[in-house]
Amino acid sequence: MQIDLTGKTALVTGGSVGIGKSIALALAECGAHVALTYLTHPEAGEAAAAEIRAHGGTAYSYHLDATDSVQVDSVMRQAATDLGGHIDILMNNAGHLVGRVKVDEMSDEHWHKVIDVNVTSAFYCTRSVLNYMHGGRIVLNSSLAGRNGGSNGAVAYATAKAALFGLTRGLAKELAPRGITVNAVAPGFIIDTPFHETFTGVDNYQNIINNIPLKRAGVPQDVANAVLYFVSEMGAWVTGQVAEINGGAWFV
């Protein structure tokens, strides 16, 4: 079945770079009208939207701190207006490790920041989008870290990403009567993203790849492909599930 999202509208948080950008481009390539958000680099947000428009698609970009519920409500309202009054697909992609910090050195501020940027942001965006969603698809971006605890200094991040599994399943049950499916993706080692360039280091890539059964790193398109399944008619009877995208590095 060819994925056809013609006439659908989508909002991708953190959609200006890395995995988020790949998802936004993939949705547009399948015919969806796309809104994406960015936090720190407006030029990247507009460049991603411009790339979609250059290929004949419709795209908008907005600045958003997804940990601020007032901003979330404002941007969601503007995006829904620009997209024709409704949002069919929400990709909760915004998230961050913030920094590697050992538990005995971790401040309250760091803990709450990591939880907020990964979990609270998804809650705020989901709560807000329901005002503009009449049936539809919601996907959350978790991580392999939520399964295996992550690497050194990532306790807060692993905790936050694990929490998204529970949020996904709770939402799936509550929103099913409204015709809304809710699923998650849990990427493993995905290169060509600012995340691993910043927090892992290119020099360490090969050691990680050596421990992946499929013997390659993932790329953002690998994650986008799973998202397309969840938001298309192929995934219409799938909800409360997590796609483990890690090359065999971890099994359920």
Amino acid 11: pLDDT: 99
Rounded distance between C-alpha atoms, residue 222 and residue 214, angstroms: 13
Over residues 106-119, the mean pLDDT reads 98
Pair 90, 137: CB distance under 8 Å: yes
Selected catalytic residue, list 62, 157, 205, 229:
157
CB of 56 closer than 8 Å to CB of 49? no
- For 157-195, the pLDDT digits (tens) are 999 999 999 999 999 999 999 999 999 999 999 998 776
Angle 155-175/108-115 helices, nearest 10 degrees? 30
pTM confidence score: 0.95
Does the pLDDT value for residue 196 go beyond 70?
A: no
Q: Is the pLDDT of residue 213 over 70?
A: yes
**Tokens 């600012």, located at residue:** 194
Residues 243, 185: contact at Cβ < 8 Å? yes
Mean pLDDT lowest for which of 117-121, 133-137, 221-225, 248-252? 248-252
Per-residue pLDDT, 194: 73
Average of pLDDT values for 89-108? 97
Partners of 184 in beta bridges? 140, 242
Whole-number Å distance between alpha carbons of 177 and 30? 27
Q: Residue ranges of the domains in the chain? A: 9-242
Amino acid symbol at 126:
T
User: How do residues 39-83 score in pLDDT, each as one tens digit?
Assistant: 998 999 999 999 999 999 999 999 999 999 999 999 999 999 999
pLDDT at 202: 76
Say if residues 193 and 157 touch (Cβ distance below 8 Å).
no
Residue 67: per-residue pLDDT: 98
pLDDT digits (tens, 9 = 90+) for 217-236: 999 999 999 999 999 999 99
CA 139 – CA 233 distance, rounded (Å): 14
Q: Which pLDDT does position 135 carry in this prediction?
A: 98
Q: List, in order, residues 6 or more apart from 205 with CB less than 8 Å away.
A: 191, 196, 217
Element (H, E) at 243: strand 242-245
CATH number attached to the domain at 9-242? 3.40.50.720
Reply yes or no on whether 157 is catalytic.
Answer: yes
